[in-house]
Amino acid sequence: MKCWVYDGAMTMIFGIPVQAFLGQLLVGLINGSFYAMLSLGLAVIFGLLRVINFAHGALYMLGAFIGYLLLTRFGIGYWPALILSPLIVGGFGVVVERLALSRLYDIDPLYGLLFTFGLALVLEGVFRYYYGVSGSPYSVPPLLSGGTNLGFMFLPNYRGWVVVASMIVCFGTWALIEKTRLGSYLRAATENPGLVQAFGVNVPLLLTLTYGLGAALAGLAGVLAAPIYQVSPLMGSDLIIVVFAVVVVGGMGSILGAIVTGYMLGLAEGLTKVFYPEASNLVVFVIMAIVLLVRPAGLFGRDA
Amino acid sequence: MTDAAPLLAVRDLNAWYGESHALHGVDLEVFAGETATLLGRNGVGKTTTLRAIIGLIRQRTGQIFFDGKDLMRLPLHRTAQQGIGLVPEERGIFATLTVDENLVLPPIVAEGGMSVEEIFDLFPNLKERRNSPGTRLSGGEQQMLAIARMLRTGVKMLLLDEPTEGLAPVIVQRIGDLLATMKKRGMTILLVEQNFRFASRVTDRFYLMEHGKVVAAFPVGELPDRMTLLHEVLGV
């Protein structure tokens, strides 16, 4: 098979200009970064709380909007927003868990799903009422404007930053869960919450903090996304369906699975855009269907 | 036997699994430094008694006093902080935690527990495998780990649910030695056992359970006189 063909001055891969190819791969990597951050939060929440958090997309949207409002109402810029917005969304998550979700643990898990779905509708409805469905732009912070010529392609600095930031966030969360004392409580409580609480660990508090952490991760992803996609009430619902597919492919509750699968499916989407653009919105779901047929527990899931 | 108040006093303990009424008024007392054993056939409520005492079963009525404190009023995670720990029947070793992480998982609730180094001296094979996942250990090693991790916490009393179940005789022997060592260090133990011959080596007192309540209580010295009753109730 001919892989590299010189066509005049332009380098080609599979008959596609290398620039376009790498450009789509980058788009895929950027999307994958958001898939990874969001599915990570979903996986952590599902693992411990057994709640399928349908509000995750809305929390991501909330993060982006808080960043936007901090800037437009209070003149607070991108970098402080990167800290403040996840804190606010995380705090919102803590309140939601304490007031509502924690009352649903003892009954059918469907109620948790219905509640978070309703919460997503309410959040999106509120923002749609005030801001409409058209997006509002959020400009790239000056420090990261412009781009870098990598020789083989032009990389917008902000997109490079998003990829790096998401990898730091994903690795940091993974390390928190796999390598710390707090993380060992979390893993143990995922396996057997009653026994961990009988040992004297305040598991209800752990559940609250976990939902807060998941919400904060979604909020952070929202702020990171604001300069790339527009800030819009529907930005979360557009993304969340794919993110659920990522969680299913990775295996429900698997932290590493969620991260790796997030990047992988982002790249798969990018590659499909190069070779068969019509299928790029479908490819994630095709992969999901294949994985469900071959390995129902997901690529990284433990068989029950 | 002392005149002092018992460390653990359970009176008229009832417990339910949903609609099913599992305990029908259990009464028992365990004094500080003593080992007491709950005997009974499968399904008479021995495990349920331990789970209701520690608070894993919340559908319960009656009185549970530990060290003078009313355990009925405490949320589950505050019970352990009073100084009482559970080694569950299924051992509760966590697959996603290493041996080390399993060992240090239960928070320290009081001074006077063993250090990790002391525990590793007592259980050298746990030290060798400290970085393996907890459930890669053999059944006997998992049981050792389940007991060892409670020794670190400084609890005054352990509820031990069938620690010898399914283990080879040589391991059962070691667990017997371990219980004796713990007792020497002043640990109070409430043991659930099917194997009363094993229990009679370590226990001071027996409580015989049937149909969700205690039907007989006697010190270990009376065991020979109670054999007829035991055979009748245990069906051995």
* Highest mean pLDDT pick, A22-26, A79-83, B182-186: A79-83
pLDDT of residue A10: 59
> Sorting pLDDT into bands at 50, 70 and 90, what band is B236?
low
CATH class of residue range B8-234: alpha beta
pLDDT tens digits along A105-120: 888 989 999 999 999 9
Put simply, the answer to whether B97 touches A184 (Cβ < 8 Å) is: yes
Chain B residue closest in CA terms to A200: B77
Asked if A292 contacts A248 with a C-beta cutoff of 8 angstroms, the reply is yes
Higher pLDDT, A296 or A64: A64
Rounded to two decimals, the pTM is: 0.88
Please give the CATH topology (third level) of the domain spanning A20-294: ABC transporter involved in vitamin B12 uptake, BtuC (1.10.3470)
Beta strands in B84-193 (DSSP E): 84-87, 157-161, 188-193
Put simply, the answer to whether B54 touches A197 (Cβ < 8 Å) is: no
Higher pLDDT, A301 or A182: A182
Interfacial residues of A (vs B; Cβ cutoff 8 Å): 181, 184-185, 187-188, 190-192, 194-204
Point out the residue among A191, A194, A198 whose CB comes nearest to the CB of B94: A191
**CA separation for the pair A207, A211 (Å, rounded):** 6
- Measured in angstroms, the CA of B51 and the nearest CA of chain A are apart by 9
pLDDT of A6 over the 50 cut: no
- Measured in angstroms, the CA of B144 and the nearest CA of chain A are apart by 17
Point out the residue among B81, B92, B94 whose CB comes nearest to the CB of A200: B81
User: What is the average pLDDT value for chain A, to the nearest integer?
Assistant: 90
The CA R_g of chain B, rounded to the nearest whole Å, is 17
Asked if B119 contacts B102 with a C-beta cutoff of 8 angstroms, the reply is no
pLDDT tens digits along B30-45: 999 999 999 999 889 9
> Sorting pLDDT into bands at 50, 70 and 90, what band is A303?
low
* Highest mean pLDDT pick, A11-15, A212-216, B197-201: A212-216
Put simply, the answer to whether B86 touches A194 (Cβ < 8 Å) is: no
- Measured in angstroms, the CA of A193 and the nearest CA of chain B are apart by 10
pLDDT of residue A150: 81
Higher pLDDT, A290 or A146: A290
| Residue in B17, B76, B91 to test binding to A, most A beta-carbons within 10 Å | B76
Task: Output the DSSP codes for A133-158.
Answer: SS-B--PPPGGG-SEEE-SSSEEEHH
> Sorting pLDDT into bands at 50, 70 and 90, what band is A19?
confident
Put simply, the answer to whether A185 touches B78 (Cβ < 8 Å) is: no
Helix ranges (DSSP H) in A109-254? 109-131, 157-179, 181-191, 193-198, 203-225, 235-250
Q: Which residues of A touch B107 (CB under 8 A)?
A: 199-201
pLDDT tens digits along A171-187: 999 999 999 999 999 99
Mean pLDDT of A40-57: 92
Chain B residue closest in CA terms to A197: B77
- Measured in angstroms, the CA of B94 and the nearest CA of chain A are apart by 6
pLDDT of residue A1: 41
Put simply, the answer to whether B92 touches A192 (Cβ < 8 Å) is: yes
pLDDT of residue A167: 96
Point out the residue among B77, B95, B97 whose CB comes nearest to the CB of A203: B77
Higher pLDDT, A6 or A191: A191
H or E segment to which residue B116 belongs: helix B116-122
Q: What is the ipTM of this complex?
A: 0.92
Put simply, the answer to whether A188 touches B97 (Cβ < 8 Å) is: yes
Residue B222: CB atoms within 10 A of its CB come to 13
- Measured in angstroms, the CA of B96 and the nearest CA of chain A are apart by 6
pLDDT tens digits along B144-156: 999 999 999 999 9
pLDDT tens digits along B129-148: 999 999 999 999 999 999 99
Q: Domain limits of chain A? A: 20-294
Q: Which residues of A touch B94 (CB under 8 A)?
A: 187-188, 191-192
pLDDT of residue A148: 87
pLDDT of A14 over the 80 cut: no
- Measured in angstroms, the CA of B21 and the nearest CA of chain A are apart by 20
Task: Output the DSSP codes for A12-72.
Answer: EETTEEHHHHHHHHHHHHHHHHHHHHHHHHHHHHHHHH----TTHHHHHHHHHHHHHHHHH
A-facing residues of B in 66-95 (CB < 8 A) are 75-81, 85-86, 88, 92, 94-95
Q: Determine contact: B104 vs chain A, CB below 8 A.
A: yes
pLDDT of A289 over the 70 cut: yes
Put simply, the answer to whether B95 touches A191 (Cβ < 8 Å) is: yes
Put simply, the answer to whether B92 touches A184 (Cβ < 8 Å) is: no
Q: Determine contact: B2 vs chain A, CB below 8 A.
A: no
Asked if A255 contacts A177 with a C-beta cutoff of 8 angstroms, the reply is yes
| Residue in A44, A181, A199, A255 to test binding to B, most B beta-carbons within 10 Å | A199
Apex B168 CA angle, A188 and B135, nearest 5: 20
Residues 6+ apart with CB under 8 A from B60: B13, B14, B15, B16, B23, B52, B72
pLDDT of A4 over the 60 cut: no
Q: Which residues of B touch A191 (CB under 8 A)?
A: 94-96
